[in-house]
A and B are shown apart, each in its own frame.
Chain A
Amino acid sequence: EDKVVQSPLSLVVHEGDTVTLNCSYEVTNFRSLLWYKQEKKAPTFLFMLTSSGIEKKSGRLSSILDKKELFSILNITATQTGDSAVYLCAQFNTGTASKLTFGTGTRLQVTL
């Protein structure tokens, strides 16, 4: 069974801190790993990772994938209160019908 595990489940940091969110997965026929940010309702897309060792970066956010260790991290530097959200990790497989499986999410709270 495909499985995505995120850690920590929740995190409280001070504005300006750097945080690392973790995502591990067990999946057959891996295709890609995705990161989303969910503030209120619809998750918004952050990154899609398909190859090991290639960092994706967008402003203060970056992410990298390790396909050998079945692991991905999402880094946020110089956190701001607007970064407070649930961060979701998901993976696509390449089975007969592509399945998109999400982890439990990490709830990040950035305080002043």
Chain B
Amino acid sequence: DGGITQSPKYLFRKEGQNVTLSCEQNLNHDAMYWYRQDPGQGLRLIYYSQIVNDFQKGDIAEGYSVSREKKESFPLTVTSAQKNPTAFYLCASSIGRGSETEAFFGQGTRLTVV
């Protein structure tokens, strides 16, 4: 089945540790996105990528890093510099620039700092 997969679903991290969230898609989409969602709030854009080996900062990129070495994969690293990392993280993909289509979402990763 085609889709977008995030793992793990739940993640616990000690303060001061880096942690990487996985996002894989088999939809042959060029564009991929990472969002953060806090309770009662909308989705805030962290990073996005239109093509392999290229990505742009979103509105809240500080304390996060990404890579796009393969079209299918767009992992997000939450670094120790992120002051308040506890949140729900959503990954999305879309066909890409110039195509009129919706974005598809993974099921999310809930990160808790303990």
Query: Out of A48, A86, A98, which one reaches B97, CB within 8 Å?
Result: A98
Q: Is residue B2 contacting chain A, with contact meaning CB distance below 8 A? A: no
Cβ–Cβ contact B50 & A97, under 8 A: yes
| A34 adjacent to B48 (CB under 8 Å) | no
**How distant is B96 from chain A, measured CB to nearest CB, in Å?**
7
Task: Classify the interface of chain B: helix, strand, loop or mixed.
Answer: strand
Shortest distance from the beta carbon of A22 to any chain B beta carbon, whole Å: 14
Contacts of B84 in A (CB 8 A): none
Within 8 Å by CB of A97, from B44, B48, B90, lies B48
Partner of A98, one of B58, B96, B108: B96
Give the interface size class of chain A.
Answer: 20 to 34
Tell me which residues across on chain A come within 8 A of B23, comparing CB atoms: none
> Quick one: which of A1, A32, A99, A104 has the most chain B CB within 10 A?
A99
Provide the B42-64 mask, 1 if CB < 8 A to any CB of A, else 0.
11110011100010101100000
Contact residues, A90-112 vs B (CB, 8 A): 90, 94, 97-105, 107
A1 to B106, CA, bound (A): 26
Give the interface size bracket for B toward A.
20 to 34
Quick one: which of B48, B100, B108 contacts A99, CB cutoff 8 A?
B48
Per-residue contact bits, chain B 97-114, to A (CB 8 Å; 1 contact, 0 not): 100111111111000000
Q: Are A98 and B102 in contact (CB under 8 A)?
A: no
Task: Determine if B33 is an interface residue (Cβ-Cβ < 8 Å).
Answer: yes
Q: A42-B107, A97-B97 are in contact. Are A34 and B45 (CB under 8 A)?
A: no
How far is A45 from B105 in the complex, measured between Cα atoms in Å? 9
A72 at interface by CB-CB < 8 Å:
no
Q: Which residues on A are within 8 Å of B, measured CB to CB?
A: 1, 6, 31-32, 34, 41-43, 45, 48, 50, 86, 88, 90, 94, 97-105, 107
